[in-house]
Structure 1
Amino acid sequence: MSKLKTIVSNVKKKSKYLYLTAVAAGMAAITNISFVYAADNKYATNASNWAMSGVQSLVTVGAVIIVGKSLISRKFVQMLVSILIAAIVLAIVYNPSLMRGIGEYLTNIVIG
């Protein structure tokens, strides 16, 4: 009787995985509809702009806090290095195409 119970529980576990696989395959099939890719997606653009403005604000505040902390503790070399690093990070955050240009330049150097 205990063998039968273990067999039934194993079948239930396997059927659960089969069910989840079927659901995942169905969801993948639903997302591969061709007209979804051609739709104008303003929601994603708006969400991306909103996220970028939040990241820009956080990076700016973080840079100010780090530089201010260095200035208050009179670590001037650390402050100058922090300003330099913050300037590079802020330039990349406020102008993301700069990162693409750097990547293309490095790709041209490596691949030639």
Structure 2
Amino acid sequence: MNLIAQQALARAMAGGAKRVPTAEVLPVAPAAPAAPAAPAPVPAALAGHFDRVGWLEGRKHALDIVRDGRLLLELQGGRSQLADRLRQCMQSKPASFAQGVASIIALVQEVAQ
């Protein structure tokens, strides 16, 4: 037992606390788990944990790809190829990273129109 737990136990026992048997606190038999309901589909943008650092890293990575492929921006159909490359780099990445890349994809497609 760590120091904080020992101090808390000592404080509780000093105040006239009485011990309670475990059987009175815990249920006798564990409750049967409820039947799992079918999970509702979650959009990819909302799945997972969002953190700003991951989002910024995703944007940075996507901007590096755009800078490396800036010649594609001038070719016919190059913007869609660049957007496809960015979508490929989103695969199997955390949600926040993917959202950062998606923001750059939106910018690339916005400039294309």
TM above 0.5, one fold? no
User: Which structure shows the bigger proportion of residues in helix conformation?
Assistant: 1
Return the structure number with greater relative CO, CA threshold 8 A, min gap 6: 2
> What TM-score, normalized by structure 2, do the two folds share?
0.30
> What TM-score, normalized by structure 1, do the two folds share?
0.30
